[in-house]
Structure 1
Amino acid sequence: MSTTIGLLADGMMAVLLVATIGTCVALNKRIVRLKADESAMRKTISELVLATETAERAIAGLRTTLGDCDRTLAERLRTAERYAADLSEQVSAGEGVMSRIAQIVEASQLVAPAKAANEQTPPALEAAPEVSRAASRLSAAASTAQKLAERALKRLEGQAA
């Protein structure tokens, strides 16, 4: 009986050893997979670190570009404001010129009937060459002013349309 018990004990021991060896093999395979996953994880982490550094450099570059754009835009806005002020001054000056031209045209319309009356005066009054030269200059100026006023009016009508 003691041999049987010894054989049974040795058999149980053999079964337990086989089970332990099987468990060790399974654990070894898991450890190998974990080490493979660890190297893949290290590779992934190093790639993430590299991507993060690249993104930080790109963000710094974008911030620099944004600052440059902001300065350029501010400068262009100041320039545009100056041009707008200059244009406003020129428009008001042009309106002043237009009002003066309108006054000249009105005056020329008053002078035109007087000129017609002067042309019908006797030849003795036409002897004053200075008066006729002044009248012809005034007539030419009035005609030019009338043409300028008509052109300006056409431009204004074109802008209003």
Structure 2
Amino acid sequence: MSHLLGIAIESLVTVLLLLTIGYCMLLNKRLKRLKADEHSLKATIGELITATEIAERAIGGLKHTVRDVNENLGNQLTAAAQMSQQLRKQLGESDQVFRRLSRIVTAARPTSEAEPEPEVAAPKISSAQAVAAAAQAFSDRRRSNGLAA
């Protein structure tokens, strides 16, 4: 019986060793696959790092460009606002000049063109009044920068 017990134990050890060898082969295959995946993962990580560096440089360039554009746009907006104020002032002054010229033209026109002129050459009272009105309009003008406007 001891002989039979020894064979049974050795048979059990043999089966367990065969199972262990089979499991080791399975683990070996998985480790090889894992190593292959590790190499491809390292390559992918390298590419991602390169792409990230390129993107960071591009973002830095874009930030610099945005800063320049913002500065230029701010300067242009400031210049446009100043130009707008100058144009508004000039339009106001031109409106005043136009009103003065309208008064001068109105004052210089004869008061009644439909009246027939007498045959006797007599001095016109209306033309004297027109000259006086024109002189008054000229004297009403303001002087800007030492010149008549």
Q: Calculate the TM-score normalised by the size of structure 2.
A: 0.72
User: Tell me, which stretches of 5 or more residues in structure 2 are unaligned?
Assistant: 135-149
Q: Distance in 2 between matches of 1:10 and 1:107?
A: 139
Q: Between the two proteins, what is the percent identity of the paired residues?
A: 38
Q: Once the two structures are superposed, what CA deviation does each residue of 1:46-70 show, in whole Å capped at 9, x if it has no partner? A: 1221121111111101101101111
Q: Calculate the TM-score normalised by the size of structure 1.
A: 0.67
In the alignment of these two chains, the number of paired residues is 127
RMSD in angstroms over aligned alpha carbons? 2.7
SS in 2 for 1:113: coil
Q: Distance in 2 between matches of 1:121 and 1:95?
A: 42
Larger RCO of the pair (alpha carbons < 8 Å, separation 6+): 1
Runs of 4+ in structure 1 off by over 3 angstroms are 111-114
How is 1:22-61 mapped onto 2 (pairs within 5 angstroms)?
22-61=22-61
How is 1:10-159 mapped onto 2 (pairs within 5 angstroms)?
10-109=10-109, 111-113=110-112, 119-120=117-118, 122-123=120-121, 125=122
1:4 maps to what in 2?
4
Q: Distance in 2 between matches of 1:58 and 1:71?
A: 20
Shift of 1:19: 0.6
Shift of 1:81: 1.5
